[in-house]
Structure 1
Amino acid sequence: MIITMIRILEYHDPYTKGHSKNVANLASLLAEKLGLSDEIIKKTYWAALVHDIGKIVIPSSILNKEGKLTIEEFEVIKKHPVYGHDFLSTSDELKELGKYVLHHHERWDGKGYPAGLSKEDIPLISRIISVVDAWDAMRSDRPYRKGLPEEIAKKELIEHSGVQFDPNIVKAFLEIV
């Protein structure tokens, strides 16, 4: 069922083709590097796989826009974690994953969305997904820009460590890429 949802998302937003799988694979490797239990590694994989599922209801004209998003368009994009949480919460089996999806755009400094959580108040799995999602997004071609070289993407993670991202997770992630 989850794989089917991801394929629907990739049909709707071709630029994310492979993104969910990349994030899931790297997030589970990172969870393993952090010494987390097999159960948490598995949850990290599945939550990362569905982290963008809420984008299914974001208009293609916004998702695939080649230029800069307007403030209003960005506000629409920012709703995708809430939508993903809402979709996943309808299933007893997927409800917990929904919590991690909901918070994958929170920031270490509390300036993220949708709840403005900070530091350890952000679920660990969400903090892992946040770093890996940003990495894969930076490294991938998007409608509005080409993917960044590895060294520049690493510098971006370091620069935003302790601000946007959990510094311990960034440190561990840089050891595996």
Structure 2
Amino acid sequence: MNIEARFELCSDGIDYHEIIECIVSALDAKDPYTAGHSQRVSEMALALSGVLGLPEAEVDKIHVAAHLHDIGKIGVPDAILNKPDRLQEEEWAAIKKHPKTGADILSKSRHLNELKDIVLYHHESYDGKGYPSGLKGKEIPLGARIIAICDSIDAMTSDRGYRKAYSLDYCYEEIKKNLGKMYDPDIGALALLHWSKVTASVKK
């Protein structure tokens, strides 16, 4: 039984889809930038997972994890999260704690615990220069490697306080340039091959 089905059929009768939506909405209210971000990333992750031909259970797991990938930002001070200018070094250090905070939050739920490693490692880089643990290549969970690409696409194509959104063409070239560096080269190549399908949520 896939993860979403397990959420729906828990014996305690709780609707975990609603809980996830509430959690993400709380983050959206705290950080205007994230409003819609988690939804778009989850839709891209769903599309990319489908392109990869992953089993349904794995696709569902990655889809839900993508919804929750930034939940740890709830623990970041508002003054940093909503700062309109570029972050200072100490502020950036605070932001970089959000994957660990998110993983800690998910680990407290028996239903969401299996997502924690995907959330924890979604900012790792394929070349080992990411955070929080400097994992490299296939050491990084598959879901985290997928979300890393989708997260970057949405970040680049969204307006920020210190810059306007980049075009999808610019984003395409950045993903291509960083294959094998920031991104899994095989997953990234498939994302580029199916670019329109993967980025459909960005175009809405």
Q: Which TM-score applies when normalising by structure 2?
A: 0.85
**Corresponding residue of 1:4:** 22
- Output the amino acid matched with 2:164: K
CA distance in 2, matches of 1:47, 1:109: 23
Give me the whole-angstrom Cα distance separating, in 2, the residues matched to 1:13 and 1:56: 9
Written as runs of structure 1 = structure 2, the 5 A alignment for 1:56-71 is 56-71=74-89
Unaligned runs of at least 5 residues, structure 1:
none
Q: Is the 8 A contact 1:30 1:173 kept in 2?
A: yes
Q: How far 1:66 sits from its partner (Å)?
A: 1.5
Asked if the contact 1:65–1:144 (Cα under 8 Å) also holds between the matched residues in 2, the reply is: no
1:36 matched residue in structure 2: 54
Choose 136-145 or 41-50, whichever is displaced more: 136-145
Number of aligned residues: 177
1:152-173 deviations in Å (ceiling 9; x for gaps): 1111111111101101111111
Instruction: Kindly indicate whether residue 184 of structure 2 is the aligned counterpart of residue 166 of structure 1.
Output: yes
C-alpha displacement of 1:57 = 1.2
1:139–1:147: 8 Å Cα contact kept in structure 2?
Answer: yes
Q: Indicate conservation of the 8 Å contact 1:107/1:163, yes or no.
A: yes
- AA matched with 1:14: P
SS in 2 for 1:76: helix
Distance in structure 2 (CA, Å) of the matches to 1:145 and 1:8: 25
Shift of 1:175: 2.2
Return 15-24 or 138-147, whichever deviates more: 138-147
Q: Which moved more, 1:59-68 or 1:27-36?
A: 59-68
1:143 aligns with 2:157: no
Task: Give 1:22 deviation, angstroms.
Answer: 0.3
**Which blocks of at least 5 consecutive residues in structure 2 are unaligned?**
1-18, 196-204
What's 2:200 paired with?
none
Structure exhibiting the larger radius of gyration computed from Cα positions: 2
Q: Tell me the TM-score normalised to structure 1 length.
A: 0.98
Please identify, of 3-12 and 145-154, the stretch whose mean Cα deviation from structure 2 is larger: 145-154
Instruction: Read off the aligned partner of 1:3 and give its amino acid letter.
Output: E
Question: What is the identity, as a one-letter code, of the residue corresponding to 1:70?
Answer: Q
